[in-house]
């Protein structure tokens, strides 16, 4: 920034001095030169010839160039300050997005963990076996640790490939198991429909958390005593995950806009939404060369379609964002 300001200031000053010298040379005159009173007849100058500059003709140029120079230097300073602060502004924006994304991603597993702890407490008070619940709690804690690691890795904006292809069905079952306590609290049944054992080159934790986000959105808007179905299949070179609910459909917002960050529909769910979950789903899907869309929405329900390139299929992953 210092070099930029120095070079730009030098160019502005040099240009101003050059213009001022040109004005002086154009408006000045020699006294005692050829044609002047007392000058030699052959046109030669006297040794005492002098160059005269009219101040009243040069002064407006000096004032004008001074004003223009100050204005240009102010613009240079503004540009330098803006360029210097841009990385700080970008870093602050990324930090805020990461905090918001991490808070949103952790909200669902923490709620599920709280539900399991309450279930454990009820079983303990009734003298019922708690070994299975303890195993589920430890599994939930492990999933939360993996989620934090995945968030930190993907915060760099790059796609992280697993060591070997991951079966989408396994990740979907993991997501359903994680969401089961919340679905039970909402009196909503979760069902899996595995049509294909398709594999993708996406970490299992990443698949699970985007499917959890879709299931969580469906459960929040599904009426009690209805089902949310997660269907796994394959279409051409893509693995597909469809999440279907039996709610009243998307209202109050264009279905394509539900994936915009902080966009919310007029419909209220069981919990307050912040318009982050579906935006993260699109961000992750796009990073791995896939996509997500509202395939169908009506008063009878909504279907979200997640597409990820199948293992071995040629794809173009998005480059890291700056």
Give whole-number Cα distances, 114 to 119, 140, 262, in Å.
9, 10, 26
Q: Is 286 exposed, middle or buried (0-12, 13-18, 19+ CB in 10 A)?
A: middle
- For the chain, helix, strand, coil in percent to 5 are 55, 15, 30
Question: Each residue of 111-122: pLDDT tens digit?
Answer: 777 877 888 888
| CA atoms of 261 and 277, how far apart (whole Å) | 8
Question: Each residue of 37-62: pLDDT tens digit?
Answer: 544 555 454 445 676 777 777 778 88
* Residue-level pLDDT at 104: 64
Residue 292 confidence class, pLDDT cut points 50, 70, 90 = very high
Residue 319 confidence class, pLDDT cut points 50, 70, 90 = very low
| CA atoms of 238 and 289, how far apart (whole Å) | 10
Q: Of 312, 170, 304, give the one whose Cα is nearest residue 240.
A: 304
Average pLDDT over residues 19-26: 80
> Residue 318: pLDDT above 70?
no
* Residue-level pLDDT at 17: 82
Give this prediction's pTM.
Answer: 0.58
CB < 8 Å & 24+ apart, contacts of 75-78: 76/4, 76/5, 76/8, 76/9, 76/12, 77/5
- Alpha helix positions (H), 186-264: 204-221
The DSSP string of 231-247 is EEEEETTEEEEEEEE-S
Average pLDDT over residues 224-233: 94
> Residue 293: pLDDT above 90?
yes
| CA atoms of 284 and 150, how far apart (whole Å) | 11
| CA atoms of 219 and 202, how far apart (whole Å) | 25
Average pLDDT over residues 183-194: 91
Average pLDDT over residues 214-226: 91
| CA atoms of 168 and 174, how far apart (whole Å) | 10
Residue 268 confidence class, pLDDT cut points 50, 70, 90 = low
Question: Each residue of 151-172: pLDDT tens digit?
Answer: 666 666 556 677 789 999 999 9
| CA atoms of 155 and 265, how far apart (whole Å) | 27
């Amino acid at each position: 920034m210092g070099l930029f300001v120095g070079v730009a200031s030098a160019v502005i000053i040099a240009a101003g001095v050059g213009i001022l010298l040109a004005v002086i040379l154009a408006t000045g005159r020699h006294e005692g030169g050829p044609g002047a009173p007392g000058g030699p007849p052959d046109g030669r100058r006297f040794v005492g010839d002098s160059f005269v500059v009219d101040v009243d003709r040069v002064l407006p140029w000096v004032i004008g160039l001074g004003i223009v120079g100050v204005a240009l230097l102010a613009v240079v300073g503004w540009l330098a300050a803006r360029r210097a602060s841009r990385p700080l502004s970008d870093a602050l924006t990324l930090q805020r997005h990461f905090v918001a994304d991490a808070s949103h991603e952790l909200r669902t597993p923490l709620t599920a963990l709280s539900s399991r702890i309450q279930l454990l407490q009820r079983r303990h008070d009734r003298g019922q076996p708690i070994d299975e619940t303890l195993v589920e709690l430890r599994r939930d804690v492990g999933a939360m640790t993996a989620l934090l690691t995945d968030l930190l890795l993907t915060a760099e904006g790059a796609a992280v490939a697993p060591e070997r292809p991951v079966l989408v069905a396994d990740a979907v079952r993991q997501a359903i198991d994680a969401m089961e306590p919340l679905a039970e609290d909402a009196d909503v049944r979760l069902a899996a429909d595995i049509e294909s054992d398709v594999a993708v080159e996406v970490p299992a934790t990443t698949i699970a958390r985007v499917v959890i986000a879709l299931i969580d959105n469906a459960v929040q808007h599904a009426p009690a005593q209805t089902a949310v179905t997660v269907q796994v299949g394959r279409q051409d070179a893509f693995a597909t995950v469809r999440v279907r609910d039996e709610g009243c459909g998307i209202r109050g917002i264009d279905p394509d806009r539900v994936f915009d960050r902080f966009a919310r529909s007029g419909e209220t769910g069981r919990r307050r939404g912040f318009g982050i979950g579906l935006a993260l789903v699109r961000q992750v899907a796009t990073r791995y060369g896939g996509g997500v869309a509202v395939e169908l929405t009506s008063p009878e329900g909504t279907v979200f379609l997640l597409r990820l390139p199948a293992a071995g299929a040629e794809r173009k992953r998005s480059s890291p964002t700056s």
